[in-house]
Amino acid sequence: MGIKTHTTRKTPRPKGKGKAPKAPMSKKTTTLPLLVEVGTEELPWQVIQPAFTHLARAIQKVLTDKRISFGAVRSMGTPRRLAVLVDEVSRKQESSRREILGPPKSAAFDAQGAPTPAAQGFAKSQGVLVKDLQIQDTAKGAYVCVVKEEKGRLTGDVLKESLPGIIEKLSFPKSMRWNDTGIRFARPIRWMVVLLGQTTVKFSVGGIVSGYTTCGHRFLKGKRGKRATISSPAQYVNTLRRVGVWVDPDERTAILKTRLSSLAKSVKGHPFPEHADSLLEQAVYSLECPHAVLGQFDSLYLHLPQEVLITSMKEHQGFFAIAGAQGQLLSRFIAPTNMKLTNMSLIRKGNERVLSARLADAQYFFNEDRKKKLADRLDDLNGVTFHKKLGTLYQKSERMVALAPFFAGASGDVQDKECCQRAALLSKADLTTGMVGEFPTLQGIMGREYARHDGEAESVCQALSEQYLPRNPDDPIPASELGQRLSLIDRIDTLAAFFRAGVIPSGSEDPLGLRRQAFGLIRILVEGTVDINICSVLRQARAQLDAHGVRGNHDAQAPSEEDALLTFLAERVRFYGRTQHGFREDVMDVILDRPTPDSFHVRDVFLRMEALQAMTAEVDFEPLIIGFKRANRLVDKEQWTSSQVDSALFEDPTEGELFFAVDKARNALSSLMTQRDYRGVLLTLLGLKPAIDQFFTAVLVNAPDAKVRANRLSLLSVVKHVFLEFGDFSKIQVQSNS
């Protein structure tokens, strides 16, 4: 069977009398659907959706660039195929007409009308004969011009040239070679189906020639075997279904969801909600024929911590855990399968055996680990390196214990302090347990479980389990205050230590995830209940590093290390404000660009930003800033330092009114600032607007009398300093000019 030839459908000429319409009008271009399927060996599930999305975008772009009109675009895929379907693709490219201007007519032709070298050169460069040059009248005069008409080519011919590059250029986080064509792809490409209407668009990529034969499900045989011929793009989805492949991810999601809930319902449960969504996505992109089987494990294992059970099911096997009506785990699981057989018992049994072996291993670790108390494991931490320049985890724990008192509650409660130190002491001990060695994601969680077993205080246990929160931007911060403190202590020590060791993130380099650590720190400080001055705890953290003999590369430059850290943290605050709250950059500048004093209260900084961001919506805000900036500019220009105002020198009532208003505002501000009522502060400043505006309208600051002028500058200096109490408003960018 050869390649089907495409027959052009000719538009019939209208019958009847009269002239036929001009050619371009009558040739009503027909459209055809397009299918591009790249068949591969099993792709990693994470790359499939991004890959077919990129493929679709690249195809749309090429159609647009090549002047080929098209309709709806759909993209889809499974582990073994990336597919794009485009409706109503124009059968032919639009023709194009381009005019290229050359030299002026006067330079191109001499007085006799003979072409000069300029004309000859231009014609040559454009690949035309001199006689083909035309003259175009432009606003600047007559110019020589070449008109290039490109006739629209058949879409199939255009695609034949463009598609190979598009497919070869698809990029993946990791790609590989498999043959000597030099092509790289996530996994080997084994076939391609490219159809425009019923015709194949034939080309080759990585040694594979496109055709119209696709592969069905690896193991399920369709009516026509595992291979299938796609007769037209419209038949693609249905044809694949007949050979056991559900190519549309949405369809697979729906099938799996139904299957999951019906299986779970059969045991009066539901898929454990916290991981169901992410697992579902993984399953959808791991299967061509979505199905699932319900399995069971020995209920004795239900005594293991819930997280251990869930991790064993989810991370290793991709199984869904099932929760009962009260949210408790049931001794059941659902395994997604790529096979749908009448008898699933063989598959079910296999999956049960695997899980049971995993749980037996977990049980073994759980029993062994509890034979040794967490507190007795501290010595083992001596053998675990935190970082080659920063000593062991034992030393890190010691530093954390020493830092704990500075994070304990403001009340100075002794018990509180002891809990905090205890939590810091035990925080890393679970890293030496067999369970965490086997399931690293259970760090902290196992600390809680083993601490409970050892009879540690419940608040300490909870803090241990929360110490790594938030791990990522979607995670909650620790719920308990002790948990927040422990997480802060850990992060502060880590940041101070790595900055000391000179391991500082730069550009895209942040191998140890310090930015993420700092981001979590900022979130806890803003969203949590612990209120600390970062500067002072950082100083303590650095003192601890000194005490432990951790030396940096540039010991003498200790102050710059502190600066670097504060700048880094300020940058993270900015990132937090930008990404989580959409704060304006200039709003953040007002607060962050102040000369850094001894204190850096992250929450305070955040509250100011938040209040200011809200205030920017007020109608009077910009005019107020314009007034402030004017005052600020005058004071700065004169480098005016005095704030001594003598009311006897007032010549205009607006001076007295401004003086009175500012004085009143200053008094109000001091208590508002203490209460962190930043909205109140800003409203008070906003209240100064009429007085400032009237002042500038009524008086000339540069009065002829030097004393009056000095007095007015002093008054403006007072105004400036009242604003500075909150932040540097000169950073605000106003739209209109003052």
> Which of 219, 238, 479, 529 is the binder for other proteins (CB under 8 A)?
219
Question: At closest approach, how far in Å is the CB of 42 from other proteins?
Answer: 4
Nearer to other proteins, 186 or 256 (CB): 186
Closest CA to 569 of 641, 493, 648, 514: 514
Rule CB under 8 A: choose which of 388, 511, 549, 706 binds other proteins.
Answer: 388
Q: Give residues 45-64 in contact with other proteins (rule: CB under 8 A).
A: 45-46
- Shortest distance (Å) from residue 347 CB to other proteins: 5
Query: Which residues have a Cβ under 8 Å from the Cβ of 87 and sit 6 or more positions away?
Result: 31, 33, 70, 71, 72, 73
The residue from 39, 77, 79, 623 that contacts other proteins (CB under 8 A) is: 79
Which residues partner with 227 through β-bridges?
A: 215
Please state at what angle helix 558-581 crosses helix 481-500, rounded to 10 degrees: 130
Structure tokens at 484: 């927040």
Q: 374 with 451: CB under 8 angstroms?
A: yes
Tell me whether residue 469 or residue 550 sits nearer to other proteins (CB atom): 550
Of 189 and 612, the one with the shorter C-beta distance to other proteins is: 189
- Which tokens belong to 648? 């006897």
Residue in 45, 34, 42, 36 with CA at minimum distance from that of residue 6: 34
Residue for token digits 């001076």?
655
Specify the stretch interacting with other proteins by CB under 8 A; choose among 2-10, 384-392, 570-578, 713-721: 384-392
Q: Which one of residues 6, 57, 370, 387 is an interface residue with other proteins (CB under 8 A)?
A: 387
Q: Which stretch binds other proteins (CB under 8 A): 110-118, 183-191, 494-502, 673-681?
A: 183-191
The answer to whether residue 224 forms part of the interface with other proteins (CB under 8 A) is no
Which of 112, 343 has the CB closer to other proteins? 343
| Residue 222 DSSP class | B
Member of 66, 81, 92, 187 binding other proteins (CB under 8 A): 187
# of chain residues touching other proteins (CB under 8 A):
49
Q: In angstroms, what is the minimal distance from the CB of 342 to other proteins?
A: 11
Q: How far is the CB of 210 from other proteins (least distance, A)?
A: 16
Q: Which of residues 623-662 bind other proteins (CB under 8 A)?
A: none
Distance CA 485, CA 495 (A): 15
Both tokens of 579, joined, read 């990404």
Q: x/- site string to other proteins, residues 101 to 130, per CB under 8 A?
A: ------------------------------
Candidates 147, 300, 384, 700: give the one binding other proteins (CB under 8 A).
Answer: 384
The nearer residue to other proteins, 170 or 186, going by C-beta atoms, is 186
Min dist. Cβ of residue 667 to other proteins (A): 60
Residue 486 contacts residue 459 (beta carbons within 8 Å): no
Euclidean distance between CA atoms 36 and 59, whole angstroms? 9
Which segment (31-39, 171-179, 600-608, 666-674) binds other proteins by CB under 8 A?
Answer: 171-179
- Residue 530 CB coordination number (10 Å): 18
Residue 222 touching other proteins (CB under 8 A) = no
Residue 324 DSSP class: -
The contacts of residue 91 (CB under 8 Å, 6+ apart) are 8, 29, 30, 31, 32, 154, 155
Q: How far is the CB of 497 from other proteins (least distance, A)?
A: 14
Q: How near is the Cβ of 402 to other proteins at its closest, in Å? A: 23
Q: How far is the CB of 491 from other proteins (least distance, A)?
A: 20
Binding mask 325-364 for other proteins (x = CB under 8 A): ----------x-xxx-x----xx-xxx-xxx-x--xx--x
Listed in sequence order, the DSSP H helices in 616-652 are: 621-637
> For other proteins, which residue of 266, 299, 385, 644 counts as binding (CB under 8 A)?
385
Give the x/- contact pattern for other proteins in 487-506, rule: CB under 8 A: --------------------
Q: How far apart are CA 507 and CA 681, in angstroms?
A: 38
Sign for the CA dihedral angle at 491, 492, 498, 503 comes to positive
Min separation Cβ 76 and other proteins, Å: 20
Instruction: Compute the least distance from the CB of residue 383 to other proteins, in Å.
Output: 6
Burial 481-500 (b: 16+ CB within 10 A, else e): bbbbbbbbbbbbbbbbbbbb
CA distances from residue 77 to 195, 215, 238, 347, 465 in whole angstroms, order as listed: 17, 13, 14, 25, 39
**CB-nearer residue toward other proteins: 54 or 187:** 187
User: Binding marks (x or -) toward other proteins, 364..383, rule CB under 8 A?
Assistant: x------------------x
Q: Does 551 bind other proteins (CB under 8 A)?
A: no
Q: Which stretch binds other proteins (CB under 8 A): 217-225, 414-422, 542-550, 677-685?
A: 217-225
Q: Report the greatest alpha carbon distance in the chain.
A: 109
Answer yes or no whether residue 176 interacts with other proteins by CB under 8 A: yes
Stretch of 187-195, 573-581, 606-614, 622-630 contacting other proteins, by CB under 8 A: 187-195
- 174 touches other proteins (CB under 8 A): yes
Q: How far apart are the first and last CA of the chain?
A: 79
**Shorter beta-carbon distance to other proteins: residue 406 or 498:** 498
Question: How far are the Cα atoms of 376, 388, 564 from residue 503, in angstroms, in the given order?
Answer: 32, 11, 12
Strands (E) in 176-328, as ranges, are 189-196, 199-200, 204-205, 208-209, 213-215, 227-229, 270-271, 291-296, 320-323
Cis bond before residue 597 (omega within 30° of 0): no
Smallest separation, CB 216 to other proteins (Å): 13
Residues 29-48, interacting with other proteins (CB under 8 A): 41-46
333/729 with CB nearer other proteins? 333
If 0-12 CB within 10 Å is exposed, 13-18 middle and 19+ buried, where does residue 462 land?
buried
- For the window 663-702, what string marks contact with other proteins as x by the rule CB under 8 A? ----------------------------------------
Nearer to other proteins among residue 251 and residue 361 (C-beta): 361
Tokens of 314: 């989810």
Residue 522 tokens read as: 């900022």
Which of 152, 188, 324, 687 binds other proteins (CB under 8 A)? It is 188
Task: Rule CB under 8 A: choose which of 18, 111, 114, 180 binds other proteins.
Answer: 180
According to DSSP H, which parts of 198-344 are helical? 236-242, 249-265, 273-284, 306-311
**Of the two residues 152 and 188, which places its CB atom closer to other proteins in the complex?**
188
One residue of 90, 210, 286, 517 binding other proteins per CB under 8 A: 286
Residue by residue, DSSP assigns 486-547 as HHHHHHHHHHHHHHHTT---BTTB-TT-HHHHHHHHHHHHHHSS----HHHHHHHHHHHHHH
Secondary structure (3-state) at 135: strand
C-alpha atoms less than 13 angstroms from C-alpha of 496 in its C-beta half-sphere: 28
Question: CB 358 → other proteins: shortest distance, Å?
Answer: 9
* Cα–Cα distance for residue pair 65/155, rounded to 1 Å: 12
Site string for other proteins, 392-421 (x = CB under 8 A): x-----------------------------
Q: Contact positions toward other proteins, by CB under 8 A?
A: 41-46, 79, 174-180, 186-188, 190, 218-221, 286-287, 317, 319, 335, 337-339, 341, 346-347, 349-351, 353-355, 357, 360-361, 364, 383-385, 387-388, 392
